[in-house]
Each structure stands twice: as C-alpha cells, then as structure tokens.
C-alpha cells in the first residue's frame, strides 16, 4: 500500500469519526477492498457504504433498546410454538403480530394458566415493537409496584409515571399471582389512567378480568382499571398444557428409557 493511500485512508477515518460514521470508520479497509473487488461505480459505492452504516446503526439501536426493555429472557414471535397451543387462533396470532394496535394505543391482555406461553408472547410482541422503532419497557407486576411505591415514597411518582409514558409499549407480566393492597391498586390506576388512549399496555395474568377485583383488593379500583384497560383491548385466552411441564415430562421419559 502506497504512502498516499495510507494518508488518504487516515483522512477518511478522521472524517468518518467526525461525522460519527462508526461502521465506516472501523471497517474502512475491508469496505474499500470489497468495493474494489465488486468494481462498484461511484454511485454504487455511496449506496453500499450508506446502507452498511444504516444497517449497523439499526442493529445497535435494537440491541440497546432490547437491553433497556429489561426482558427477562430472549423470546420471539417466530419462536412461539403455535401448534402446541391449539386454543390460540392462528389468524388472531398473525393479526396481533402486525402490531397495528400499537398505533391506535390499544391494549392486549393474555390470560391463561402458568406455562402456556403468555410471557413468551408478551416478550415477542415487545421485541417486534422494538424492531419497528418503538420504545418498550417490561416489568413483572411485583417489580412494577415496587418501582411505583418507591417513587411515591420519594415524592417522584408523577415524574416516574411520566417517564414510563415515554414508552410506546408497557408490558406488565404475571398480574394476579400475588394480591395487591388498596394502595397498590391506586398506584396502578394512576399509571393506567395516564396511558389510557395514548400508549399501549400488555398484561399477562393467570386470572380472568372478572376476578381482578380479588387481585386488587378494591373492587372500585379494579372496575376503574378494567374500564380503561378493556375499552380498547384484545383479550386472548390461552388454554393448554404447560410448556415447562411438557418438557419436564419428556425429560423424565428419556431418563426412564
């Protein structure tokens, strides 16, 4: 490589750094060599470089947004075993997977016994929302309440609810596994009221909404919460065998053989 080419590459890297073209800066030599091998025209070269930079930025955005969502594990809609849950209608699954309901601030409630894939679906919808460019935050119901209680104690509840309002999709997992106090119900009501008709919520629960009065410990608050959640909502009931139980039984079968 001639001294002139080295000097030119150095200047290109400096310019890429100044323009924050990180992918181009870090892969300058490889990209130039590939462009030479493919005999790209000037326009084709620019198109190639811009596309690569955009692809890298998009990958970085998805990675950071996924980390910020605090999903408990990695799940995708493509990885959901729809055949194992015949109660879940395939057409509804595909329709929800388009995430058009996010644009109209509608909610989704996933109801069913433990292990049928409710959390998997919720995470899958959240991951898809991130890929489409939306902000997502995942909480277990217990952790969400702990967050809201602390904010209330610190005098920052309004600020915390406003912060959560920035996320296009809020996922509340495992609602109903533990009972809430009337004070807890009031906190959830404030959050749901703030998001009503402006931001979407996904809730997973082992109890149907008709039993949420028992969950919240305050029938009046439960009615108010349900009124806002279910006004623009798709409720999905999933009945079937537990994935975890089925996997464990398969493991036992293999052990006995």
In a shared domain, residues 60 and 94: no
Query: Does residue 73 lie within any of the structural domains?
Result: no
- Please write the tens of the pLDDT for every residue from 241-255: 665 555 554 444 443
In a shared domain, residues 227 and 106: yes
Over residues 19-24, the mean pLDDT reads: 84
In a shared domain, residues 112 and 13: no
Q: Residue 226 belongs to what domain range?
A: 82-245
Beta bridge mates, 169: 136, 200
In a shared domain, residues 106 and 161: yes
In a shared domain, residues 234 and 122: yes
Residue 122: CATH number of its domain: 3.40.50.300
Query: Does residue 251 lie within any of the structural domains?
Result: no
Query: Does residue 133 lie within any of the structural domains?
Result: yes
Confidence at residue 257, expressed as pLDDT on a 0 to 100 scale: 32
Confidence at residue 219, expressed as pLDDT on a 0 to 100 scale: 83
Confidence at residue 241, expressed as pLDDT on a 0 to 100 scale: 65
- For the chain, what is the domain count? 2
- Please write the tens of the pLDDT for every residue from 85-100: 888 899 999 999 999 9
Identify the weakest region by mean pLDDT among 136-145, 156-165, 207-216: 207-216
Give the DSSP per-residue string, 150-188.
HHHHHT-HHHHHHHHHTSSEEEEEEETSS---HHHHHHH
In a shared domain, residues 112 and 32: no
In a shared domain, residues 63 and 116: no
Beta bridge mates, 236: 110
Query: Does residue 250 lie within any of the structural domains?
Result: no
pTM of this structure: 0.85
In a shared domain, residues 111 and 223: yes
């Amino acid at each position: 490589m001639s001294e002139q080419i080295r000097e030119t590459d150095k200047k290109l890297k400096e310019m890429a750094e100044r323009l924050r073209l990180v992918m181009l800066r870090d892969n300058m030599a490889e990209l130039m060599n590939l462009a030479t091998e493919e005999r790209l025209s000037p326009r084709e070269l620019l198109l190639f470089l811009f596309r690569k930079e955009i692809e890298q930025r998009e990958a970085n955005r998805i990675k950071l947004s996924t980390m910020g969502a605090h999903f408990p594990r990695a799940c995708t809609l493509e990885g959901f075993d729809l055949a194992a849950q015949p109660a879940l209608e395939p057409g509804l699954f595909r329709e929800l997977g388009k995430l058009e309901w996010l644009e109209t601030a509608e909610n989704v409630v996933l109801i069913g016994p433990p292990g049928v894939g409710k959390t998997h679906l919720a995470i899958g919808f959240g991951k898809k929302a991130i890929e489409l460019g939306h902000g997502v935050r995942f909480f277990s119901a217990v952790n969400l309440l702990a967050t809201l209680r602390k904010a209330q104690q610190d005098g920052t509840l309004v600020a915390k609810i406003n912060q959560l309002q920035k996320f296009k999709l809020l996922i509340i997992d495992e609602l109903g596994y533990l009972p809430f106090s009337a004070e807890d119900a009031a906190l959830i009501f404030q959050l749901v009221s703030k998001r009503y008709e402006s931001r979407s919520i996904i809730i997973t629960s082992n109890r149907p909404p008709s039993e949420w009065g028992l969950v919240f410990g305050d029938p009046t608050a439960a009615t108010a919460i349900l009124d806002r959640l279910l006004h623009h909502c798709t409720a999905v009931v999933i009945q079937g065998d537990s994935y975890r139980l089925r996997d464990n039984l398969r493991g036992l079968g293999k052990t006995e053989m």
